[in-house]
Structure 1
């Protein structure tokens, strides 16, 4: 009987140069696997807690406390357990913590061990991670969301919206979609350079030109798509991550600084409706604040039968919050970030709940990432159908795309959904 023989963690760096947790699990058969935990910049206030040291090291962002929690409390309880019972491993860590947001152990400690356990179990059984987690039904290659222009909290420019993304929806397979996105990305770089704007890239590989309005990035992207030889709206569609919680002022209005406007929830919904009528936008993430549920209701009634409305800060991968959203008919899609909820098992619970209720799921990275490609396997395992993991730039982003290329080559009946997730 194979059992967990050792568990430990150490402090490593993420793609922003900040410390994060790398957890390692060793099994009694000699299998040894690790996992590195990502970290977000724009975070929902109901996310599971990322434990930081708060001392003089790394400007207070060290994770030695979380590392010590893995090396002591978590290791003490997990050694001897079966690595093949993921739910038991995750439930044990949740019991040790005893809080509803992992404020004792740290979600970064728990998730690292949870992912490393799943990876070790898969390796021990000589199975790829997506097959171990998803079984024979894991055969859907995700449609990617490529963040190619940054604004908001992700950039020091005049654009209010946080991410402008392209989605290759009009292709037969993942490989062709990835190639098209890469070609659009390189053409976009040429266009921005011709505008005498900087082509330096942000945390997620996107460009951050100082454009005049919230529409201009869409217009520039359309030029890049056409210059690359693709059909906008047919082969390549546009997705937005507004991160609207960052736009709210003290009076509850949404401030569009680039346009010198303050809008109510209803007015902002009409703003989106106008954008969608002019451009091939098929997905809007966090179009309203995480606290503006009344506004989300208006948004869903207005656009929910036309485009994908993704809840990130709204749902924070939390099954109980997603259930409330389902009951109130809020949004129609859930962004899936494992470190928002804290473990592999809890993430899977949220995904299954969403899928049972016909909500789309988008597996997602964080702005602080690593070379770890866990979410690529996870997206395929749970048949999410979509993945958001940055531009085709920066090693920590391409690690996920390159892993998906490997997975696609292994699955005999790989399915690429193309436009299917967005049909209502």
Structure 2
């Protein structure tokens, strides 16, 4: 026992000597004694407490940078009282763990009003499973994957998250294949030979060949199935955002600036311009009867498509605002929600159906009468590609054509590296599921390189987390789509947008333009810019607000 104790003491002594040698080498390499002497000489006239404060600040610079030590996932409730995911980040700072920040990410589920009870129950079960799986991923695995990483190393964080997600996708694929293999094979019945088709009816006298065919309209394509979403994938996007916010918090910089620096090697703010103001008087306006939807939009009954626009005109006039100068409108047409598949037409109003070709004429007529409409969002379903082409050809120089629900997810767009499946000016980008900060940087670079607009949009289910606004501003989005001015989770984002505007004005980085130069899109950018190298942007600020004014 004595020999063993002596051996242990000898090992400890050798370890201490090795640590002392390493410390001395570090001090000599960094010339710590001389720097410390200079610091003491420069603070001889200060009180002891001040000297200790200077010493603490000095040695804090020599300390190891903060590193991730704990990531916690929690289920919380969003603005509609439905479950969603919150992520908390803690770091080791000067050998002590410290909570840094938290974020919440919205789910990808759409809210369907007046849905059947069985549909609501099925979606509730799916939502619960998605959130609970994400919580398990974070608390059981992702903390271990990212432990010890510096939050400012966003690229490495997102790389590890991407690898982790790929493994989960592979596990899910193998599980499904195993389940299929365990199912008992069902013997197929012998094929039945169909009877020969009946002969075509004889042509009646006087009937012209092909007349019936010309009267039949082209069949409406069925809707494409939604993209599959792996349960738990929202953990990837939430953790990536939480790490970016932790990096901003530790650096005492706003999140939008951290994201801008992530996208650009260096930030070059434009010269400040004078923003035009308006001091129109506010007059009393008549009360408007209607209800507010779950999206925060006023829903009213109307007899013509133009009636909501005339109502908005009257409201702006009462407020002393000029449409097309102080206020512009973007219409969220939501074409995928208007299609009546039983009739093969879009139902623009109750009892009023129009074919896809007639919808093109409707939109062109609206823009001709109301030029203050500067954007149409999802004017058609994504399956009606011919009508997208026709509308783009007719309105590209006067109005932005934006794809929201008609676009693929960010992960699919980056996978295929093709964003021009339809003719449009820009895409609505949503931060959901496995979309990381690096993915958002990449998709905005891809859109900028092809002269397309990036529009950051909120989902149907969202919390009061205002990070979406920082994402839009920091990544240089042209617009942000937040919905109606109601409910706390939406007003929080509007208030954050106003706060960022104030910060940019004070710092001299505010660049404001009231002009919408549609001639920028008159030529097909996808042909001329496909291989062109991305150049510097004129300005990454500001981001404008797109408020849904109506559904066509």
Higher relative contact order (CA 8 A, sep 6+): 1
**What is residue 275 of structure 2 aligned with on the other side?**
172
TM superposition score normalised by structure 2: 0.61
SS of equivalent residue, structure 1 residue 16: coil
Q: In the alignment, which of 224, 233, 254 is matched to residue 107 of structure 1?
A: 233
Alignment RMSD? 3.1
- Once residues 351 and 256 of structure 1 are traced to their aligned partners in structure 2, the CA distance between those partners, rounded to angstroms, is 34
Q: Bigger shift: 257-266 or 329-338?
A: 257-266
**What is residue 55 of structure 2 aligned with on the other side?**
none
**What is residue 376 of structure 1 aligned with on the other side?**
469
Q: Does 1:313 align with 2:313?
A: no
**What is residue 182 of structure 2 aligned with on the other side?**
none
- Once residues 57 and 277 of structure 1 are traced to their aligned partners in structure 2, the CA distance between those partners, rounded to angstroms, is 42
Q: Is the 8 A contact 1:385 1:417 kept in 2?
A: no
| 1:81 Cα offset (Å) | 2.3
| 1:367 Cα offset (Å) | 2.2
Q: In the alignment, which of 221, 225, 241 is matched to residue 332 of structure 2?
A: 241
Q: Is the 8 A contact 2:339 2:347 kept in 1?
A: no
Q: Which runs of 5+ in 2 are unaligned?
A: 1-64, 112-119, 171-226, 521-552
Q: What does residue range 12-411 of structure 1 map to in structure 2 within 5 Å? A: 12-29=76-93, 30-40=98-108, 42=110, 61-62=127-128, 63-98=131-166, 99=169, 103-104=229-230, 106-135=232-261, 137=267, 172=275, 190-193=285-288, 197-198=289-290, 200-250=291-341, 253-256=344-347, 258=349, 260-279=351-370, 280-318=372-410, 319-320=413-414, 323-326=417-420, 330-339=423-432, 342-411=435-504
- Once residues 203 and 59 of structure 1 are traced to their aligned partners in structure 2, the CA distance between those partners, rounded to angstroms, is 21
| 1:25 Cα offset (Å) | 1.5
TM superposition score normalised by structure 1: 0.78
- Once residues 396 and 110 of structure 2 are traced to their aligned partners in structure 1, the CA distance between those partners, rounded to angstroms, is 24
**What is residue 50 of structure 1 aligned with on the other side?**
none
Q: Is the 8 A contact 1:317 1:347 kept in 2?
A: no
Larger Rg belongs to: 2
| 1:107 Cα offset (Å) | 3.1
Q: Which has the higher strand share?
A: 1
Q: Is the 8 A contact 2:68 2:148 kept in 1?
A: yes
| 1:97 Cα offset (Å) | 1.9
Change in 2 beyond 3 A, CA 1:388/1:104? closer
Q: Does 1:10 align with 2:103?
A: no
SS of equivalent residue, structure 1 residue 28: strand
SS of equivalent residue, structure 1 residue 338: coil
SS of equivalent residue, structure 1 residue 239: strand
- Once residues 85 and 234 of structure 2 are traced to their aligned partners in structure 1, the CA distance between those partners, rounded to angstroms, is 6
Change in 2 beyond 3 A, CA 1:235/1:111? same
